[in-house]
């Protein structure tokens, strides 16, 4: 199978640099373009410079030209920027891998609408290990469906702007679905003061922000006399980036459709 030509959005950011590194190290992928917002500090410089190599691909400010040069754009930026790139991908007939989090329900609907015309992988976490945890949570929730309280605890670095993380919310969604609950109605985001006895139907979320924590997630099933914890800890952003390359390769040859990492990994 021929290499997938990818364009990396937000190429001078922390995640953008990691995506460029993953693309350069993946035999099934070719880094065709890298771009960032106009005025970004590394515009005009080699995309590999930030990781100590020469790629021959310069970071540009023209999103349209970058996306047109690729088969697939990979975007881990911010919701507004991602939606603008999604519109360009749809116009140009290119695939897109979206790792951005913090979308509203209306924005998610925009992504679904675009996927009727182009192939899209949209997932809150691209790491293979995290997606294995999603599958484990399905099994655990079925087994522990009675007599266990569910809490989701997540920690990220001080620079993360949305909370809870998209991964934590997806973990809650997976558990809620298996328990026959609507997460929008049963989620509790933090507690303070005299809250009263815990409602057994709720799923709690606790958020930690500090330092350089890449990403820690734990789902706690707390029963009387025992606790079961399913945890994933990220030591770097590279698992997200390598998962994104896998997603880009998965989309090769597809004409349209909305997929997530469970589809990419064959876990459906």
pTM, two decimals, is 0.83
CATH number for the domain formed by residue range(s) 128-234: 3.30.360.10
- Cβ atoms of 202 and 108 within 8 Å: the answer is no
Q: Burial letters for 252-268: b for 16+ Cβ neighbours within 10 Å, e otherwise?
A: beeeeebbbbeebbeee
| Alpha carbons 10 and 24: distance in angstroms, whole number | 16
Per-domain boundaries in the chain: 4-126+237-264, 128-234
Which ranges of the chain have pLDDT less than 70? 1
Residues 6+ apart with CB under 8 A from 232: 127, 129, 130, 133, 215, 216, 217, 218
Residues tagged active-site: 156, 160
Q: What is the pLDDT of residues 9-58, one digit of tens each?
A: 999 998 999 999 999 999 999 999 999 999 898 999 999 887 888 999 99
pLDDT at 1: 67
pLDDT at 102: 87
Q: Which residue has the tokens 């293979």?
A: 128
The tokens for 9 are: 């959005």
Q: If you classify domain 4-126+237-264 with CATH, what class do you get?
A: alpha beta
pLDDT at 51: 81
């Amino acid at each position: 199978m021929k290499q997938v030509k990818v364009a990396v959005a937000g190429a001078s950011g922390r995640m953008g640099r990691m995506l460029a590194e993953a693309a350069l190290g993946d035999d099934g992928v070719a880094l065709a373009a890298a771009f960032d917002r106009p005025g970004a500090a590394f515009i005009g410089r080699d995309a590999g410079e930030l990781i100590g190599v020469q790629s021959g691909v310069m970071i540009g400010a023209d999103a349209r030209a970058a996306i047109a040069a690729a088969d697939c754009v990979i975007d881990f930026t911010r919701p507004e920027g991602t939606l603008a790139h999604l519109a360009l991908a749809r116009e140009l007939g290119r695939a897109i891998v979206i790792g951005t989090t913090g979308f509203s329900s209306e924005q998610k609907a925009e992504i679904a609408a675009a996927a009727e015309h182009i192939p899209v992988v949209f997932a809150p976490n691209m790491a293979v290990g995290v997606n294995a945890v999603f599958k484990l949570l399905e099994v655990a929730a079925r087994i522990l469906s009675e007599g266990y309280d569910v809490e989701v605890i997540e920690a990220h670095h001080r620079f993360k702007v949305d909370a809870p993380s998209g991964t934590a919310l997806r973990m809650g969604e997976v558990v809620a679905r298996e328990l026959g609950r609507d997460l929008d109605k049963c989620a509790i985001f933090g507690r303070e003061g005299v809250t009263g006895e815990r409602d057994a139907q709720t799923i709690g979320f606790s958020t930690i922000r500090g330092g350089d924590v890449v990403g820690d997630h734990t789902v706690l099933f707390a029963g009387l006399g025992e606790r079961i914890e399913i945890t994933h800890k990220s030591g770097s952003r590279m698992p997200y980036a390598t998962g994104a390359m896998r997603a880009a390769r998965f989309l090769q040859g597809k004409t349209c459709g909305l997929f997530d990492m469970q589809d990419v990994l064959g876990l459906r």
